[in-house]
């Protein structure tokens, strides 16, 4: 591979979803770092953005929602792709730089979306 950017960061305030995404993606060969706190995820990415290729984040979370987190990450490093996962029908905020996926998301759909956003 020869690629420094190899990590996928998953952020959701529901620990069972972080666990499910992490296990699913790792079983399919991806390196995944999971967070249930978006502020901690942001702090990690500020220091390690050069190791990250993709951010998968829930939209509705305490402190920072997924769009805010995605915008902050894009300001730090525009090379990181962002996927927002939401149960909401419409997100009012600007999502032009992000792929938006509706919950519930199947394993097949998750793997398809990740493959489309990870250029290894």
pTM of the model: 0.91
CATH superfamily name and code, 7-117: Response regulator (3.40.50.2300)
Torsion of CA 100, 37, 18, 72, to 10 degrees: 30
- In the chain (120 residues long), the average pLDDT of successive 10-residue segments reads 71 96 95 97 96 95 93 94 87 74 91 86
How is the chain split into domains, by residue range? 7-117
pLDDT recorded at residue 87: 87
Tokens of 54: 């993709």
């Amino acid at each position: 591979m020869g690629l420094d950017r190899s990590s996928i960061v998953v952020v959701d305030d529901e620990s069972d979803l972080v666990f499910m995404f992490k296990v699913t993606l790792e079983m399919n060969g991806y390196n995944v770092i999971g967070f249930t706190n978006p502020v901690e995820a942001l702090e990690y990415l500020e220091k390690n953005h050069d190791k990250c290729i993709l951010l998968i984040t829930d939209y509705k979370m305490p402190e920072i929602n997924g769009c805010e987190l995605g915008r902050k990450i894009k300001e730090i490093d525009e090379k990181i792709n962002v996927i927002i996962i939401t149960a909401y029908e419409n997100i009012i905020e600007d999502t032009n730089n992000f792929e938006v996926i509706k919950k519930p998301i199947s394993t097949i759909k998750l793997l398809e979306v990740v493959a489309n956003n990870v250029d290894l």
